[in-house]
Amino acid sequence: MKNVEKYSRGYFMPPVQSLKWTEKEYITKAPIWCSVDLRDGNQALIIPMSLEEKLEYFQMLVDLGFKEIEVGFPAASETEYAFLRKLIEEDLIPDDVTIQVLTQAREHIIKRTFESLVGAKKAVVHVYNSTSVAQRDQVFRKSKEEIIAIAVKGAELLKKYAAETPGNFQFQYSPESFTGTEIEFSLEICNRVIDIWNPTADDKIIINLPATVSMSMPHVYASQIEYMSDHLKARDNVILSVHPHNDRGTGVADTELALLAGADRVEGTLFGNGERTGNVDIVTLALNMYSHGVDPKLNFEKLPAIIKKYERLTRMTVHERQPYAGELVFTAFSGSHQDAIAKGMKWRENEVRDFWTVPYLPIDPHDIGRQYEGDIIRINSQSGKGGVAYILQQTYGIDLPQEMREGFGYHVKDVSDQSHKELSPEEIYDLFMQEYVNISTPVEYVSFKYTENGEYNAAVTIKVDGEEITCRGKGNGRFDAISNALKEHLQLEYTDLTYNEHALTIGSSSQAISYVGIRAKDGQVYWGSGIDTDIMVSSIKGLFSVINKVLTK
């Protein structure tokens, strides 16, 4: 590509190597989660949520288990201010939930923010100022000392107004654009703020290190976090928070490695909504932990319903390939994938295992409210016999014999290919019924009788061209005798007669389904199927179905 020379790596590595995080295998416990959907996410919407919509969204976050929720920038607009006042005055905030508000390090904004918080049971007041080289040089045109002065003044003002305002407040500071700030300067400015707030074990503060713009590979961000964690003052009394954005598509990786590197807390949004490419997706983070057997302390057991509400309130859509949440992320169209999943699911029915190990499915879709039927395996022209058989078995209880699956699988693939579309379970069922079940032309089954005297003698009444005819045959069983009667009357030659059957439904009017296969004179194998409330009649109808297929080939 042209102009590559205009780009440089605008981030800063720590002055000493920080790689202890590489020795850890996985995240062993959930962080403190803080949803910023109602502030960072909401400000990025084409149409921001109304007060009523924000109230509904807030309740959804509470129901999911969030204990910290950033509810807005109350000094920014009357809607934001009114929303916060309604939460406090109408006692809509559960006792175990802490709200968070954002403010710039400017006195009139801080003053207005504390006015909005009067009477709050507990609130985090989050003050920030931008610290990066680009922001200092291009936006504020201020020196490092002047940038520090802004942060110091903001920290002092938070102490001042908190002391004057009824409520219970915790302080948070962010060096905005941390990833573009010299790491030593980030440490210096954060430590200056810590000195002012003087945190204790009973009154901890939050230092938030945002990837306001993602600028590096994830391991660099992790090294930056580890360096800060190792060198912040009063570290035991500081909650180290991260707020990653997704500009490089690495928001989840940035966050996971940051947690390994010492972060205690994560700010993010559901499904990654936010400015530009969005914030880190808390759903993905939480379910990644879940897939490793770690309780994320958030409840996504009804994920489809959460998605539906999220899309209605935000007017955003969850992409079909969004991890865990997307409509297609557990779906297999490929024949080999479908076959492996179907066999894996069948294996689990007969094996007792402590851990989930089904091929291609990192977690059990049922655990997040997804259905197997028509959701995990879907059928198009790329699908195989295993997937088609799985759909029929899971949705309709039709358990095709292995030998029958290939022919029907190819038939379904051909129909999908010619129609250029995915086939629904209903369409697959209809194809099976049309192609195999109770075929009654040109020879229709009417009735049968048999007698047993050392061998079976069968009398089978059939209808051909509207005329009823009775044909007779002998065999070593009822079905064999009926088969021989049809062979002789219709002058058919076939071998390797095979059939099996099973109950299709349960109850007094239950139906049985039979599958009948024969090898015709030309060597080709044909299959038919019969359904009836009488198991014997279902087998006879299956035989008629396959014979009619031979007669009309």
Do residues 483 and 513 touch, judged by C-beta distance below 8 A? Answer: no
Strands laid side by side in the 443-452 sheet: 443-452, 456-464, 467-475
Instruction: Identify the bridge partners of residue 526 per DSSP, sorted by sequence position.
Output: 518
- Helix, strand, coil percent content, the chain, rounded in steps of 5: 45, 20, 35
Do residues 360 and 337 touch, judged by C-beta distance below 8 A? Answer: yes
Beta strands 265-268 and 443-452 are unpaired
- Can you give the C-alpha Rg of the chain in angstroms? 34
Read off the DSSP letter of residue 407: H
Token digits for 175?
């060096």
Count of CB atoms situated within 10 Å of the CB of 236? 9
Dihedral over Cα of 257, 237, 130, 279: its sign: positive
Instruction: Identify the bridge partners of residue 532 per DSSP, sorted by sequence position.
Output: 512
- Which segments are annotated as binding site? 40, 243, 245, 279
Rounded-to-integer distance, Cα 81 and Cα 73, Å: 8
- Find tokens 């899971």 and name the residue: 394
Could you please report the per-residue DSSP string of 142-205?
--HHHHHHHHHHHHHHHHHHHHHSSEEEEEEEEEETGGGS-HHHHHHHHHHHHHHH--BTTB-E
For 130, what's the count of Cα atoms within 13 Å in the CB-facing half-sphere? Answer: 15
Count of CB atoms situated within 10 Å of the CB of 382? 17
- Which segments are annotated as binding site for Mg(2+)? 40, 243, 245, 279
* Of 19, 31, 11, residue with least CA distance to 208: 31
Task: Give Cβ neighbours of residue 173 (< 8 Å, ≥ 6 apart).
Answer: 126, 127, 128, 151, 154, 155, 190, 193, 197, 205, 206, 207, 208
